[in-house]
Structure 1
């Protein structure tokens, strides 16, 4: 039971005409055979997640390169890619081929984020700069990824990217404030322009300001659960395994 080329090695190249008909739209075929010949064909189709088109559009709107990597047949992959708005498709991939594509992108300077849910995605997920496995995906994919999306919604990946951008913005703001404060306060204290109690109050106020600024992320987290997220304006590649 498996792909056509795999079963052909066991059942022979001569396939009955009734098994050699075109598959249903957006469906991949799995064949069954033994040493006596071909026995059956199963046409399998995956339903798209409801937020797939929205998520792909959000990433592309920010100039990211979105790639569909899949072990499915080229015809199926092309139809799915056209439906969700992905221009780059690499179909018929083995796990090794997916890994090679990821490494080639990284060697070209891309920061690669990967979303996958299958056993065949495990090696690719480990190789990515950041990787996400879906909550209802294979266990091997989940242990190989950096994060597991428990909601099983692709939009959560875009929300993670949005939160990462906001977090880095807060970090930079806090670093700038701390640097400016120390640049001014340390020389003033050294020359006796600040009393010790004033320095203590100033340091406490500075720490409270930094913590208060960071707490703004909690509001952003609540908003991200309700509003479709955008993603950072950078140029990585986002590869999806299927």
Structure 2
């Protein structure tokens, strides 16, 4: 059975009241080789670590959850199973309709926008009016210890400041779940500890089911939650 057939036939199975991120027997294969085989529930505010070496399929799982994994055709990826977020099946939805936030190892700030402009880019369309949008941005910066930074050029920020802005941009989009794709791997040791603590605190404070992929055992230990293997 094709991935599309499997996903479409199981959408109705998602319960209407469940909370958290569910990966229901999700299997990802590349050219016939199993990369990921996982069946788990990540509760609201829980941080689960997916541990494995580079090339083990960890990032492919996050890409699939986000809805951007190229499946079928010449891509070579085949997927079965179901992803459910807060009782809603995500399979078949466009990436922008999934309400899943992802933080990468690169901060990916837009160099042509100010810090505030970068944050404004993530605000939902439901947040209207210049005053309301500015208030949301300033509150986010205050919570990240960056009060007054809205008009700054991202190029003037330190690595830690850029990492915090990147996280707040993800959170301002009001995601229902948070994915972390090796987000601390390019930070030096001292800064890595600080940013890890900040990211995990924000995820728990907002009650976000969080899935982190990493090859660093220290990341998993710092998260303090379950550590699972991709297969």
Instruction: State if a TM-score over 0.5 links the two structures.
Output: no
Scaled by the length of structure 1, the TM-score of the pair is 0.27
Scaled by the length of structure 2, the TM-score of the pair is 0.28
Compare CA radii of gyration and give the structure with the larger one.
1
Higher strand share: 2
Q: Which one has more relative contact order, counting CA pairs under 8 Å at least 6 apart?
A: 2
Higher helix share: 1
